[in-house]
Every structure is written in C-alpha cells, then in structure tokens.
Amino acid sequence: MRGKWATFVVMAVLSVGLGAVSAPGVAGTWTMSVEAPPPHGAMTATLSLKQDGKKVTGTFESEHTGHRTLEGEFADGKLSLSTQDAGADPGQAFTITAKLKDDGTLAGYVSSAAGDMTWTAKRVKG
C-alpha cells in the first residue's frame, strides 16, 4: 500500500509541475527597430500586443505610420499580424511576420506597398 501511495504522490507532483510549464508568448510592449528603405532609413516603433491562445491583437505606433491596430496569430513560435484599421488608405496597409527567438527577442519582416523591411524587437521590461 505504501508503494502505491508514493507512486500517486510522485505522479501528482509531476502533473502539477508539468502543467505549470507554458510556452513563451508575445503579449506585452515591444520596442521595434525597423530598417526602412530610403528616404526613411532606420526607424523605431512601439508594438503593444495582447494574446489569447493563438489570437493576437494590438497596436503599432511610429512617427511614420501613426497609430495602427493589428490582428493576427502566434503559433509554433511564429507571429503574423496585419493592419485592421477601417477606412485606412490601402497603400498604408502592412503585415508583420516574425519569429520569437531563443533569446526572447522578435525578428522578421514588415511588408507593405513600399516593400519588405527587416525588423527586430525587444520586450519592454515592466
């Protein structure tokens, strides 16, 4: 009986411990560095994200684009977002793709009518 009880306790501890492990997400505020083509050159932006499962919503804000709302998903370590602003100039629409790297940063592309721009981002510590 003692052996069965010990096995039960070990299994319970392991299941609780394993249940507490969760995959990293992308929720939070990020400082982005974007390599834009001339005449803009390098620029910074703020990416603020909320995550509910795979669904991601948020905002992108920079001096060049102003405040834009985003919607997309984060799955298998990959982020995919697009602008969702009703009535916005279609020429100003863009998509964001990235991979969450092992060091906790994001790196990817911003794609728009102006072309693809590389970017990286670090999470703002709060």
Q: Does 5 map to a domain?
A: no
pLDDT given at position 8 = 43
Q: Does 12 map to a domain?
A: no
**How many CB atoms are closer than 10 A to CB 2?**
6
**CATH code of 103's domain:** 2.40.128.120
pLDDT given at position 3 = 55
Is the CB of residue 27 less than 8 Å from the CB of residue 52? Answer: no
Q: Does residue 24 have a cis bond before it (omega within 30 degrees)? A: no
Is the CB of residue 56 less than 8 Å from the CB of residue 26? Answer: yes
Q: Does 62 map to a domain?
A: yes
pLDDT winner (highest mean) among 15-19, 32-36, 62-66: 32-36
Report whether pLDDT(85) > 70. Answer: yes
pLDDT given at position 75 = 97
User: What are the pLDDT digits (tens) for 15-26?
Assistant: 334 444 456 899
Report whether pLDDT(84) > 70. Answer: yes
Number of domains in the chain: 1
Q: Does 110 map to a domain?
A: yes
- Range 40-57 average pLDDT: 93
Q: Does 77 map to a domain?
A: yes
pLDDT given at position 36 = 76
What are the residue ranges of helices labelled H in 1-126?
2-19
- The DSSP bridge pattern shows strands 66-75 and 55-62 to be antiparallel
Q: Does 17 map to a domain?
A: no
pLDDT given at position 1 = 54
* DSSP letter, residue 23: -
Q: Does 34 map to a domain?
A: yes
Domain hosting 95: range is 23-123
pLDDT given at position 86 = 61
Residue 77 region by backbone torsions, left for phi larger than 0, else alpha for psi between -120 and 50, else beta? left
**Helix, coil or strand: residue 56:** strand
Which H or E run contains 72?
Answer: strand 66-75
Write down the pTM of the prediction: 0.76
